[in-house]
Amino acid sequence: MKTTDYLSLIIKELEQTATLISDSEADQLVEALLNAKKVFVTGAGRSGLAGKAFVMRMMHMGIDAYVVGETVTANLEQGDLLIVCSGSGETRTLIPIAEKAKELGGTVVTVTINPQSTISTIADRIIQLPGITKDGSAGSYQTIQPMGSLFEQTMLLFFDAVILRFMEIKQLDSNTMYGKHANLE
């Protein structure tokens, strides 16, 4: 099979995942963003990279957003939002972060494949995305892709869709957002 044939199959998988995401859960995330004073995002590996891309877009929209663990990350306080990106919902390094956010009075949202996971039990809201975990322990969605690729790709595109919905509500456009784009490049 040609590389471009694989690309076509991946795109078809992503089209199918979009129909399986709950609009209600998506709206809850948008609402949480609208109500949060500050937003923090954490994740490990490729899930963390998708989360970092989301933080960048939130910053472009004027949201006070941070990646957990970076040197410039603010402190989480009551009224702030933590978004935990974990396909399995069992990532050992992320569980104590979610617990600490709850102790500090933050709202915790998890984006996961597994709504019965440890992180899901801590979270105030769960956004379930289709896929399978990297070790195959959670999720029943069929994919040609290795490990957690489908989940990670779906999450990246889902976050972009959340950004578009937020832009619509706040009446923002790309020109407005470009004013917050890095200019030391």
Query: Going by C-beta distance under 8 Å and a sequence separation of 6 or more, which residues neighbour residue 1?
Result: none
How many whole angstroms separate alpha carbon 83 and alpha carbon 94? 11
Closest CA to 86 of 47, 128, 139: 47
Beta carbons of 35 and 144 less than 8 angstroms apart:
no
DSSP state of 166: H
Other beta carbons less than 10 A from residue 27's beta carbon = 12
Phi-psi region of 70 (alpha: psi -120 to 50; beta: other; left: phi over 0): beta
Active-site hit among 13, 31, 99, 152: 152
Known catalytic membership, residue 185? no
Which residues are annotated as catalytic? 152
